[in-house]
Structure 1
Amino acid sequence: MDDTSKYLIHARIVASGVVERSDVVGAVFGQTEGLLGDELDLRDLQQSSKVGRIDVQIDSENGQSFGELTIATSLDKVETAILGAALETITRVGPCRAQVEVTDIEDVRAAKRREVVGRAKELLAEGFDESVMSSEELLAEVRESARVADIAEYGGMPAGPRVVDSDAIIVVEGRADVLQLLKYGIKNAVAVEGTNIPESIAALTNERTVTTFLDGDRGGELILKELAQVGDVDYVAFAPSGSSVEDLDRAAVLSALREKMPFELLVDEPNIRETVTSQTGATDAETQRSAMSSVTSTKTASETNTQTQASDTEVAVNVVPSTGTEAARSELTDNSGGKDTETASESSIGDTDARDTETIGVPKPPQSIREYVTEVIAGATDTAVFLDESCQQLDTCDTGKVFATLESTETVPETIVLDGTLDQRLLDLATDRGVEQIVATAHGEFVKKPVGTRTLTGSQLLDTVTH
């Protein structure tokens, strides 16, 4: 009856004595019987399911009873109104005098319609928000899923897809670490899944340049010791103390790999992990102090210019640790066979800051791509600067003449820093001429994006270095 009811008759009942539910129901049937004729007889209507059960709620207090009764009907409006009026003819309930008053006849369908309208408003306001994604969000989500889907195996162990053919590998602890590095575009990581190093991984370390990137706990130290005994380790990096590689964000991962140290210098150290992590912290503090100096000071050359070596499928990052030893190399690759944009920015900036003696009052020419970006783009110069692989300036021109200048120049620049918008036409020309990367104020709409030239915005590059 509830599924087919159209109306609900709500009535209030007052009795001058103590009565119960059964007394009220009996009074309804008894005092309306024969009142409305055979077609509207209440018992017949219930048997034919045109009227539902009579719901009664009754309470007694101080010798009187008060309550409400509800009757559901599938009759039309006229018949329902007549039935409601018939209820008001009831004058007694059991032995007590009583009065029944119909307070409301509710249209069930109208109530349902109100619920539908209310819920539709909620869905319209909330239900579509999460499903609407910008183009950038769509691209980022697809790229991330593609990177995670790229996980493979090497010797039965979880590995990135580039472990097989890369000349440098990163050894991590577990599958989750490999997935985290894949998320950041690093595809040459392989897991050992515990302290029992598989023979296949041990043999692989004898053939490749090996960087261990382990959790900042006792377990990471044990894995390093065993790997050093059964295989060959070239460089060592650790997550911050108490942290796992799988929990690090992209900036922390790249920072740890940049600060890796040659293993041969750590063999005799009683606590290798603390040595590596403390050296990283000391390097960061020294950098901050030197940046704040405003007088003539001698700064040690603790970092060398990073040389970016890229094929069509991978990018190598060369880093000189703060100990002044030979540079350590880890390969960071992207998900599409091209060069990972943000990773490439790390490899071509940051480490090019010169730490020579400075003289007060003598302006120092830009020494790194980051400095050129700060000067050209952040300074809103409306110019373009052409740089060679050593960050030396080859040419400069107005933003509106950058296409013609690039088209006619004899020496192809390694990098272009552009205070303007990079469009499809300029990007195509840069790719054809062999420009490695372009850093612009903004990017226009690209119908197709060539893989031969990396593209960054100035804010992306500066944010990458800052973080």
Structure 2
Amino acid sequence: MKYLIRAKLEVDGIVDKHDVVGAIFGQTENLFGEDFDLRELQERGRIGRIQVDIRHVGSRTVGEVTVPSNLDRVETALLAAMLESVERVGPYRARIQVYDIIDVRAEKIKRIVERAKEILRTWAREKTPDLREVLREISESVKAAELVSYGPEGLPAGPDVDKAPEIIIVEGRADVLNLLRYGYRNVIALEGARGKIPETIIKLAKEKTAIAFVDGDHGGDLILMELLRAAPIDYVARAPPGKEVEELTGREIEKALRNKVPAKQYLETLEKRLKRRRAAPQPTPPAPPAQPQQPQAAQQPAAPQPTPPQPAPPQPAAVQQPQPPQQVVAKPAPPTPPPKVEEKPPAVKAEVVELPESVIEEAKKLQGTLEALIYDRDWKLIEKVPVRLLAEKLEQSEPGKVFAVVFDGIVTQRLLDIAAKKGVKLLIGARIGNVEKRPEGVQMLTFNELIS
């Protein structure tokens, strides 16, 4: 049987079980035709034996009625309502009220899953080295069930954050799920912190050994800088360059954590790298191929004379006077970086203003679900799919059919390339990953920008 209907029974008089069963059959007979008559349903095996458990309290009879059902959900609900239509048992007034319908299959699945978790925890790793990938799907369901909301901010975390002497701090919920998949239960997420690190993280970092584990891209650097300024982090671990923590294998996670470095040492290295990055645009002096313009230097002898550091006799020093050309050359340098990070988002925001309010509301609900919504040009929902299948679905779609995608994941270079090929105009994700080439015609937006 699929379902079990459970109902409370009250009768204003003393009756027996067979009286209750007879009243149920008699008062529901042919209410919805012969095909839905209780006796007919029993003969065809669509419902089981009606069980009645009663006791007498003073001059009243109370108890419980249970009816096993092999019908579908709609028919089972109709059957439950029919039970409640019984008003009398014998000469007495009666009331039957359904208080629960148990999905027998769900209960069975729950017991199987609990047993599977128990088997996984007690099964020695060395006995099943070749089965790790085969059992990954079961492992995922176990680890996902172990995900908890921690602290007043409801941060995604593993179940051992309180117990373990050290914690692993990652960026988002997907990172926590990936580490749980490989047995790391002392992990907690910042959940896309921007500008303010959660107080729960700061408190835990003071009490325990804290390891910051971030993506191997520029976004990881920025989050790491915020975290190191706000909390007493002990060690830093990084995903391989260009990779994100949520997509690492068990071996890559183990290697990254094994190669962690003290936070102070990493902070010094990071600051040097950022300084080099800032200084990188300045090497524009090679631009004086304007040496043939030495006549200009000769025409400006009056202006340089007040600067004594440049001796007049060696006129080659006049090359130092082309400061105007250097300023002209310095202007092209800034426009090159901005198009990568700062010029695209405004273009996307201009279109976000025209997003239907219903789509914005759906985007808010989408956070933390690891699902994707695919829309056509009229903002009609084409399909809702798991994020892990999004790239495959877009590859299979007809060019021009998909107009926009809203998903709880990271906008990657691969997704952008597929979107450009299939004519997708807008990608809205939880955040933007390490994107080196932005195809024309595809705009990107994050949830934070959409909601703000």
Determine if the TM-score, normalized by the shorter chain, exceeds 0.5.
no
Taking structure 2 as the reference length, what is the TM-score of the superposition?
0.29
Taking structure 1 as the reference length, what is the TM-score of the superposition?
0.28
Structure whose CA Rg is larger: 1
